[in-house]
Structure 1
Amino acid sequence: MKKSAHESQSPEVAFAHSELGQALIRVLGEGSSSYRTIADYLLRNQVRVTALGIEELAESCQVSTATISRFARDIGFKNYAAMRGAVAEVLQGVLQPVEKLRNNIERREGAASPATESLEFAAANIGATGKGLALSEMDKVVHKLTRAGTVYVMGFGLSTHLAGLLAMHLQPFCPHVVEVAGHGGTEVAAGHLATITAKDVLIVISFPRYALDVIRLANFARSRQASIVSLTDSPASPLAELADHVLYAQSSHPVLPSSSTAAVALIEALVVSLMVSNKDNVEKAARLTEAISAYLYGADAALPARPKKNAR
């Protein structure tokens, strides 16, 4: 059964699209430093906020309770309690899969193994990403990639390896793919993007902690009229507002700044969607397999035997 637009959104994305979520996103773009911190926390932790008192939220955001109260009034609520009630009303009691897992772990008797906990979060992140995947947005991204003159892929820091993985997967199916940063850093990335045009697509990847250079270079590409596709974790991400199309991958982790597991799964989903989007790509995949088969271990056994010539 085809999912409705509402059903295809994760609770976090659906919250961001609500009237309250849109108000918080406006604060992210226009508010003071302390207001942006509060808005960011509310957008990322809606479920948790419904259980926090004003003192606890103030401590989490490292601001005063007076600032929290003023924030609530400035976005249209009588007080903090009214704003917290509005958050709960928008959520309508739906818990995010990762938040469910976190609550379950916290309720367990005894400490869970750090390794087990990390793997459980990875599984929950992939589940939440799949549940929240907007298929229409994925189709639009595939459409852009098939028509791009050049596809640029950019990621810094922990996202560098994700950019390299995506670029490698895209190369057989796009006319020209450029991994913007690679091992060269910001200067090399800026050099690659110097010639970007309106005919090109920039896929920019960033998860917490976000790299400032990614945001600056994405803004530059946008000023050159290139199409921007963001792979990021949340509507609160600074890349969400910059992009023409956004694909979200959950990245929660109990220890690390973010987890890349769901991002890898999302990259694979994007590449598969591109591969099967037309028959030409299927043929390209077959030719690629044939071309590299001689270099793979055990390839001789996998290849069909050549017919023997008839003895004379």
Structure 2
Amino acid sequence: MKFDWNTVEMTTSQQKIAEYVERNLQTVLLSTEQELADTLSLSIASISRFWRSTGFKNMKDFKKKTTQEMTPTPAKKIETILSQSSEAEGLSKNFHTVMNHLEFTAKQFSEETLNEAAQLVSQSNKVYIYAQGSSVGLQDLLYFRLARYGLSLHKMVHSGSELLEDMIHLKKEDVVILLAFGRKVLPEEAVIFSEAKKVGYKVIAVTDQLVSSISDQADITLFGSRGEPWEFHSMVAPTLMIEMLIIAISSYEKETNLNQLDKLHELRKQYKDILPRS
């Protein structure tokens, strides 16, 4: 179920509540205000104000309206099957968790938004890709795939003040693809957003946060669930979003992009004995 939160008007505490509701809807529907307040280390008054600020009379009104719109999901069906098996632990349980991430990502997915991001990349002068930590692997994947289409690309690999070596080259016609995971906005990400306002380049954020300042500041946001902050962070759903973005980008200038892939295929055949594929 998708909620239309007005994050601009939300306080930090309200964003925290909204994020928890998005991620734990079933639990919230079975909780009291006191339980929700205890879980989030907030006051009951803060919880009560949240419902009123988001268009509901109270928590009871939220539960009633939400329940009316809910229907059984594929993930629930899988959960039922696994619960009947003695193999529900271990790898099967992890598989089920990943399936939940993918299903939750699918609920937030917008083909229109994906196509807007692809068009922005295709029409840009140069594409900069920024990542830190575990998302560096996605940065490499995105760079490797997009390079085949002849796009002008640059991986931003520096952190700290060295990032500014990249920032001085950014122009209004450029796009930054920001792989930003976690609730906290990193200093480097804050600088990228700050310069975007001054220079005018666009920012596409791939993130695992539904309610955050990253989503508010980015021109386009693509969501990929990685689980709760205290869980093992799976990169399956974010990887899927990156691959879908690559496919969407390839649809622009389709004939040119296919010609590039044909050239690659011919070169592989020509030099297969000298440069065998690993």
State TM-score, norm by structure 2: 0.82
Structure 1: which amino acid aligns with 2:3?
Answer: F
Structure 2 matches for 1:229-268, cutoff 5 A?
229-252=204-227, 256-268=231-243
Structure 2 matches for 1:1-312, cutoff 5 A?
11=1, 14-16=2-4, 21-22=5-6, 25-28=7-10, 31=11, 33-75=12-54, 77-89=56-68, 92-94=69-71, 100=76, 104=80, 112-130=88-106, 132-181=108-157, 184-208=158-182, 210-213=184-187, 215-223=189-197, 224-252=199-227, 256-277=231-252, 278-292=254-268
Moved more, 42-51 or 259-268: 42-51
- How far has the Cα of 1:268 moved from its partner? 1.5
Q: CA RMSD in A?
A: 3.3
SS at match of 1:144: helix
Give distance in 1, aligned partners of 2:269 and 2:183. 39
1:259-281: per-residue Cα shift (whole Å, max 9, x none)? 21011122112212222431001
- How far has the Cα of 1:226 moved from its partner? 0.7
Check the 8 A contact 1:231/1:247 in 2, yes or no.
Answer: yes
Structure 1: which amino acid aligns with 2:92?
Answer: T
Check the 8 A contact 2:78/2:96 in 1, yes or no.
Answer: no
Check the 8 A contact 1:227/1:244 in 2, yes or no.
Answer: yes
Structure 2: which amino acid aligns with 1:217?
Answer: V
1:200-233: per-residue Cα shift (whole Å, max 9, x none)? 0111112335552354033124212111112123
Check the 8 A contact 1:204/1:214 in 2, yes or no.
Answer: no
SS at match of 1:15: coil
More RCO (CA 8 Å, sep 6+): 2
Give distance in 2, aligned partners of 1:153 and 1:173. 16
- Structure of higher CA gyration radius: 1
Moved more, 217-226 or 207-216: 207-216
Check the 8 A contact 1:249/1:263 in 2, yes or no.
Answer: yes
Give distance in 2, aligned partners of 1:272 and 1:229. 16
- How far has the Cα of 1:130 moved from its partner? 4.6
Moved more, 185-194 or 272-281: 185-194
1:101-131: per-residue Cα shift (whole Å, max 9, x none)? 7964996676832322222222343355456
SS at match of 2:206: strand
Moved more, 247-256 or 268-277: 247-256
CA gap of 1:111–1:166, structure 2 versus 1, over 3 A, is: same
Percent of residue pairs identical: 21
Check the 8 A contact 1:97/1:128 in 2, yes or no.
Answer: no
Structure 2: which amino acid aligns with 1:271?
Answer: I
SS at match of 2:205: strand
- How far has the Cα of 1:70 moved from its partner? 3.8
Structure 2 residues without counterparts, runs of 5 or longer: none
- How far has the Cα of 1:168 moved from its partner? 1.7
Check the 8 A contact 1:293/1:299 in 2, yes or no.
Answer: no
SS at match of 2:200: coil
Give distance in 1, aligned partners of 2:86 and 2:38. 27
Structure 1 residues without counterparts, runs of 5 or longer: 1-10, 302-312
Check the 8 A contact 2:173/2:201 in 1, yes or no.
Answer: yes
CA gap of 1:144–1:83, structure 2 versus 1, over 3 A, is: same
CA gap of 1:96–1:258, structure 2 versus 1, over 3 A, is: farther
Structure 2: which amino acid aligns with 1:15?
Answer: F
CA gap of 1:252–1:128, structure 2 versus 1, over 3 A, is: same
